[in-house]
């Protein structure tokens, strides 16, 4: 048995990196405080997003999706606040003790992992839905009250479907993480997660299923779909812009300026999305297929991936304010900076000139 363990250890050595270990140790000491700062900013900003987007004149299919995207981001950040406070600020992240790892707090951590993974999956597929709806809206810009109602109904159905399927798809994750008890040097009981032995011959089947499903369905596939529909949207907008430039009507030439802004915004969001999600999907796959990769590469980068995800969850407000005149005017009206007459007209474009798909916390955590 000992020789087998030594053999496994030797297989891990190619991925061992002192730089990553040093970075993990340093960053873990500041991660809790930085993440709390991001959450303290992001939670009220997402609440503002929900408040603005649910105003009567802002109710469009796109804004309805953005509203629930903001809700999902906000719920994830709310869950992260007590997690970061207890496991990073009150107690050092590298400490394991009966007080820090009590049954109550470890049960909460188990809830946080499952909850944030679920809200993340919901958010990511809402982002994909947003890209598809935007593309269809521009490709076939039908108007009228009946068309608008149908699109709102479809948006609601899509949100409910995504929420239900996300919960069902995360069932393997719910079954994977389990708590086990141990005794410390003072003969006190503390709790920790059962070692999943990821990337070893002893990995359980349910763990394999969970990681493959999560990496493909919540990472790789959404990236592919976003690239496809983002590319189709850009191509469609360029065609329409080219056609309208050939027109002599100045009224028709004014609209493409907004479309160009929308195109730039979409490209920025897609790049942010790919930078955040695609590398993590690849890292999870490598963790499953390569022995030692999870321990020596994925885990040291776990806190950093959480931070990137939290930042993405909190910047939507800035993006909306920068890219949407309707959003800015509605916000200023709510703050009584401008009169209601400035924003009383309903939105007819169906968009607020922004696309948003945000990732949440990483699926895999270590105490």
Q: Give the pLDDT confidence of 266-310 residue by residue, as tens digits.
A: 667 777 778 888 889 999 999 988 888 888 899 999 999 999 989
pLDDT digits (tens, 9 = 90+) for 326-355: 888 888 888 877 776 666 554 444 444 333
| pLDDT-derived band at 231, boundaries 50, 70, 90 | confident
Domains present along the chain, CATH in parentheses: 29-342 (1.20.1070.10)
Are 89 and 72 contacting, i.e. CB atoms less than 8 angstroms apart? Answer: no
Is residue 258 scored above 70 in pLDDT? no
Q: Torsion-angle region of residue 188: left (phi > 0), alpha (psi -120 to 50) or beta?
A: beta
Lowest mean pLDDT among 57-61, 97-101, 159-163, 280-284: 57-61
Does the pLDDT of residue 366 top 50, yes or no? no
Percent of the chain with pLDDT over 90: 34
Q: Which residues pair with 180 in a beta bridge?
A: 192
When pLDDT is averaged across residues 75-87 and rounded to a whole number, the result is: 96
Question: 303-330, pLDDT tens digit by residue?
Answer: 999 999 899 888 888 878 877 778 888 8
Q: Alpha helices of the chain — where are they, by DSSP H?
A: 2-12, 18-53, 61-84, 103-139, 145-169, 171-176, 205-215, 221-245, 250-289, 293, 299-314, 316-323, 325-334
> What would the pLDDT profile of 154-178 be if each residue is shown by its tens digit?
999 999 999 999 999 899 889 888 8
Calculated CA dihedral for residues 158, 163, 167, 168, nearest 10 degrees: -20
35 alpha-carbon distance from chain centroid: 15
What sign does the CA torsion over 114, 117, 156, 326 have? positive
135 touches 233 (CB < 8 A): yes
C-alpha gyration radius of the chain: 23
Residue 57 pLDDT > 50: yes
State residue 100's pLDDT score: 94
Residue 196 backbone dihedrals phi, psi, to 5 degrees = -80, -10
């Amino acid at each position: 048995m000992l020789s087998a363990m030594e053999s496994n250890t030797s297989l891990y050595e190619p991925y061992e990196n002192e730089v990553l270990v040093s970075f993990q140790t340093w960053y873990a000491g500041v991660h809790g405080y930085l993440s709390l700062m991001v959450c303290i900013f992001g939670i009220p900003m997402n609440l503002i997003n929900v408040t603005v987007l649910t105003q009567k004149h802002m109710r469009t299919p796109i804004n309805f999706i953005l509203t629930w995207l903001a809700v999902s981001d906000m719920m994830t950040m709310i869950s992260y606040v007590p997690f970061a406070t207890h496991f990073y600020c009150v107690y050092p992240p590298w400490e394991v003790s009966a007080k820090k790892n009590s049954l109550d707090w470890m049960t909460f951590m188990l809830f946080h992992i499952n909850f944030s993974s679920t809200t993340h999956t919901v958010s990511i597929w809402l982002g994909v839905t947003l890209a598809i709806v935007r593309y269809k809206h521009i490709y076939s810009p039908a108007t009228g009250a009946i068309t608008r109602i149908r699109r709102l109904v479809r948006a609601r159905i899509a949100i409910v479907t995504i929420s239900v399927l996300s919960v069902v798809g995360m069932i393997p994750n719910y079954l994977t993480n389990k708590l086990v008890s141990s005794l410390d040097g003072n003969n006190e009981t503390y709790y920790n997660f059962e070692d999943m032995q990821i990337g070893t011959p002893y990995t359980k089947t349910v763990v394999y299923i969970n990681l493959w499903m999560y990496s493909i369905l919540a990472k790789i596939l959404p990236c592919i779909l976003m690239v496809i529909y983002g590319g189709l949207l850009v191509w469609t907008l360029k065609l329409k812009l080219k056609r309208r430039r050939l027109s002599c009507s100045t009224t028709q030439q004014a609209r493409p300026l907004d479309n160009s802004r929308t195109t730039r915004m979409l490209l920025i969001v897609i790049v942010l999305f790919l930078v955040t999600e695609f590398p993590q999907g690849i890292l999870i796959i490598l963790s499953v297929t390569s022995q030692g990769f999870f321990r020596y590469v994925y885990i040291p980068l776990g806190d950093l991936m959480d931070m990137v995800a939290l930042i993405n969850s909190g910047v939507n407000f800035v993006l909306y304010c920068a890219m949407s005149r309707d959003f800015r005017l509605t916000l200023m009206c709510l703050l009584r900076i401008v009169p209601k007459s400035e924003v009383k007209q309903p939105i007819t474009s169906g968009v607020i000139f922004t696309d948003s798909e945000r990732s949440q916390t990483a699926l895999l955590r270590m105490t």
